[in-house]
Amino acid sequence: MEFSFKKAVLPVLVLRDTVLFPGAAQQLEIVRQRSVRAVSSAVESGGNILVVMQRDQSVDEPQPGELCGVGVVAEISHMQRRLSSETLRVRVECGPRAKVVSAVLADGDMITALCEVCEENICDKNAHDETHKNRHRVIAYTLREDLDKYLRAFGMTPPKAFVEKVSKDLPVGELADFITNNAPFSGEKKQRILDEFDTRVRCEKLIAILRGEVELIEIKKNIEAKVNDAMEKNQHDYYLREQMRAISEELGEDDTPLRDADEFREKILLRNLPEEASERLLLECGKLAKLPQGSHEASVQRGYIETCLSLPWGITGKEKSSVPTARRKLDRDHYGLEKVKERILEYIAVRRLAAGQNAQIICLVGPPGVGKTSVARSIADTLGRKYARLSLGGIRDEADVRGHRRTYIGSMPGRIISVMIRAGTMNPLILLDEVDKLVSDYRGDPASALLELLDPEQNVAFHDHFIDLPFDLSGVLFVTTANDASKIPTPLLDRMEIIEIPSYTAEEKFHITKKHLIKKQMEKHGLSSGMMRITDKAIYALIDGYTREAGVRSLERSIASLCRKAARKISESKLTKVSICDYDLPDYLGPVKYKPDGEEEFVEAGVVKGLAFTSVGGAMLDIEAAILPGSGKIELTGSLGDVMRESARTAISFIRSRAADWGIDANFHKEKDIHIHAPEGATPKDGPSAGITMATAIISALTGIPARSDVAMTGEITLLGRVLPVGGLREKTMAAYRAGVKTLIIPGKNAPDIDELSDAVKHNIRFITADRMDDVLEHALTRRPEKLSAKLEPERLQPPKKMRYHGEKNEPAASRI
């Protein structure tokens, strides 16, 4: 078929997922009205029509811009209009390829396009050249060979006419068009062949498509073969098991292990288990089926499989990630704790943006009763995760964490696997409580077993000795709690992010009591909101007079006692409501336990207020020094540790070097005995931060100058009188605030830590920073000591160069001063 034009405007027949090629004759059913009008226009004008495929096959009425860029110019040889509908049946004979230059919607009636017929780049146009002839033969041979492989792979038998046409010595471009037009390819693949005007490239693309189809069908056949083999093996195994069951019945033997193995096998195949776990459990089922009923091995095998199937393989709970909702829940459940809440909200925000990232291990450190466990429970509720708690206090055996091997009688999985079974999901929140109370002895080191558990890079394949299969714990959010971070092993501490929960001020305790504790205890004791009322003054009196702690546990117990007594009073009398005021507390709880600290002046010298940091928070600690006639002995009492004893001797050596500056006899260390005592002698005490306190107490006792009663201090002393920084300043200052101290002397290098203290502490205590012992004495004693001689000013010791200080470490005692 020949066409005399290079460019022309033709009506467009748009096809859906159908591509026609040059030289093809095709019968089409025309349904869409635009296409019907285009065909009618072409027939009426006696001209040609452009046949093009639409890009998006889901569009019913494609627009001019939604057509493919290349089509064929065709001539309508026959048209038949159906009487029962507005559809046409036409026969088109396709001519050359044509590029769509532009297309428009003509009067909303049909699509017309300006098309350009382009010459093909024929690879054998230089037919006289032997090289081009050989290339033509190679391409044609390869194309026919790949076509034969394609037909054999799909099991297709082509018509005789098709085979004869392909066997002819056709130009390779025409051969490629004929094969593509008759092959069952998708419209998208056929369009790729139609778009190519270079015949050699066109053939290469067709060869690639044929080979890709052959590869796909081979992969499909391999998969089907494997599935068939597996089905045949399962049928074979089922047949053999039925035979074994029949034999057992004939012999009168119980086939319980066999039935159990079949049930377990069905459960394993229905569960979405990892490949390694599935293969291992199916193997264990095979072993169970061969064991006799009643044997110990059968019960062990059955327990192992049941435990493995109880694990939540692949079961994941839906996590919430709304920061505003989380903020409201945290504010509702807890008063204060702003830094803790901010860290939790940051975690939720990060999870919302990067859900696939492993979670950081959080460690909540603070005194008992400040709400560490309840904070962890609130985090789980905020995130929508299941909550599970595991107490680590007193665990000595590594097997408690990793489980026992199945070779031992009475073996069982570790606590981590047990918690995951109880949680029933792969992404719970697990609270590891009291991580600083782990004990290491000859039976093992449980802290070392936690290293793999709390490492986000390793717990993706946590290995329990009993399960003996890798279990993914990367989706678990671990939260640990501790009273003293210094007692956590360093490798374990390095894997966790420390969030400190400080002691509560009296004002915070008041709000916690009013918003949470009273309501909780009234509900617990069956009291409605109108049956008992505690006044605000009574709450403050309860906090100040009956409790003195970092947290609120004793306070809650006191409120519980009030609720019990109120419930009894309502039950025994006709009262419907009990109101408790501050002056009623002695009738309910007895005499006041803690008197408010006054500002009385010490009449005797040698008593100085110090501060201690214990595992239950900060505490006030008076240091007493007595100077006695003797021969220079040093007596240290009060359960003092080695570090504290060294601080006392350092202080005495420093005082000897500066005795003349404070009017002290230079031979006091020869003629006097010095006794230093820390009250509450049953409580062990250690740490270097009582150095300036002991030095001040000794100087006060030697000079007879009393120390101020409203001043407390903390700091380490050196041999040259420098004051070094200390740890636990937050808890120590809170203890000073509760004791009514007005002035607190701290080391100069601890000054930046003041910004981290509670607002109540900063507003009620005046902080004095001291770099040398002279600064301490200037504010601690009631008057300045006088020198022995005013004639000659003694030469002052110059402070040495600044040294880097790494803080207190490895303080073993229960109380660090």
What is the fold, at CATH topology level, of the domain defined by 506-589?
A: Helicase, Ruva Protein; domain 3 (1.10.8)
Most confident of 40-49, 369-378, 714-723: 714-723
pLDDT number for residue 716: 92
Terminal-to-terminal C-alpha distance of the chain: 106
Least confident of 21-25, 86-90, 152-156, 592-596: 592-596
Best CA proximity match to 35, nearest among 57, 62, 1, 59: 62
Least confident of 34-43, 440-449, 561-570: 440-449
Query: Across 710-786, where does the E strand assignment appear?
Result: 711-713, 716-717, 723-724, 743-747, 766-770
pLDDT number for residue 805: 34
What order of strands is seen across the sheet that includes strand 496-500?
A: 387-391, 429-433, 477-482, 361-365, 496-500
Q: What is the pLDDT of residues 85-121, one digit of tens each?
A: 678 888 888 888 898 888 888 766 788 888 888 877 6
Domain 323-500 in CATH: superfamily?
P-loop containing nucleotide triphosphate hydrolases (3.40.50.300)
Indicate the helix (H) or strand (E) that contains 663.
Answer: none
Whether residue 374 lies in the annotated active site: no
Candidates 378, 689, 709, 758; catalytic one: 689
Taking all residues of the chain, what is their mean pLDDT, rounded to a whole number?
81
pLDDT of 232 over the 80 cut: no
- Distance between CA atoms of 729 and 716, rounded to whole angstroms? 13
Residues 385 and 317 sit within 8 Å (Cβ to Cβ): yes
Query: Across 366-407, where does the E strand assignment appear?
Result: 387-391
Residues 189 and 112 sit within 8 Å (Cβ to Cβ): no
Q: What is the pLDDT of residues 523-557, one digit of tens each?
A: 888 888 788 888 888 888 888 888 877 788 888 88
Candidates 190, 732, 758, 815; catalytic one: 732
* Token pair for 662: 């404070």
- Distance between CA atoms of 745 and 732, rounded to whole angstroms? 11
Whether residue 58 lies in the annotated active site: no
- Distance between CA atoms of 687 and 603, rounded to whole angstroms? 29
pTM of the model: 0.58
What secondary structure letter does DSSP report for 21? -
pLDDT number for residue 256: 62
DSSP, collapsed to helix, strand or coil, labels residue 432 as: strand
Backbone angles phi, psi at 267, to 5 degrees: -65, -40
Least confident of 63-72, 289-298, 518-527: 289-298
Domain 607-816 matching CATH 3.90.1150.10: the answer reads no
Q: Which CATH class is domain 7-117?
A: mainly beta
Q: What is the pLDDT of residues 475-517, one digit of tens each?
A: 888 898 888 888 888 888 888 888 888 777 777 888 888 888 8
Question: Mean pLDDT across the stretch 646-657?
Answer: 90
- Distance between CA atoms of 112 and 93, rounded to whole angstroms? 19
Q: What is the pLDDT of residues 160-210, one digit of tens each?
A: 888 888 888 788 888 888 888 888 888 888 888 888 888 888 888 888 888
Residues 401 and 446 sit within 8 Å (Cβ to Cβ): yes
DSSP, collapsed to helix, strand or coil, labels residue 761 as: helix
pLDDT bucket at 813, cuts 50 / 70 / 90: very low
pLDDT of 125 over the 60 cut: no
pLDDT of 152 over the 90 cut: no
Q: What is the pLDDT of residues 703-718, one digit of tens each?
A: 888 888 889 999 999 9
Q: What is the pLDDT of residues 50-74, one digit of tens each?
A: 999 998 888 888 888 888 989 999 8
DSSP, collapsed to helix, strand or coil, labels residue 621 as: strand
Q: What is the pLDDT of residues 561-616, one digit of tens each?
A: 888 888 888 888 777 888 888 888 888 888 888 775 544 444 578 899 888 876 56
Q: What is the pLDDT of residues 751-804, one digit of tens each?
A: 988 888 877 788 888 999 999 998 899 888 888 887 755 434 444 434 443 333
pLDDT bucket at 2, cuts 50 / 70 / 90: low
Residues 699 and 785 sit within 8 Å (Cβ to Cβ): yes
Question: Mean pLDDT across the stretch 435-439?
Answer: 82
Residues 237 and 273 sit within 8 Å (Cβ to Cβ): no
Best CA proximity match to 624, nearest among 693, 560, 541: 693
Q: Which residues pair with 471 in a beta bridge?
A: 462
Domain boundaries along the sequence of the chain: 7-117, 323-500, 506-589, 607-816
- Distance between CA atoms of 705 and 182, rounded to whole angstroms? 114
Q: Which residues pair with 475 in a beta bridge?
A: none
More confident residue, 445 or 675: 675
pLDDT number for residue 795: 43
CA distances to 328, 360, 428 from 383, in Å: 12, 15, 10
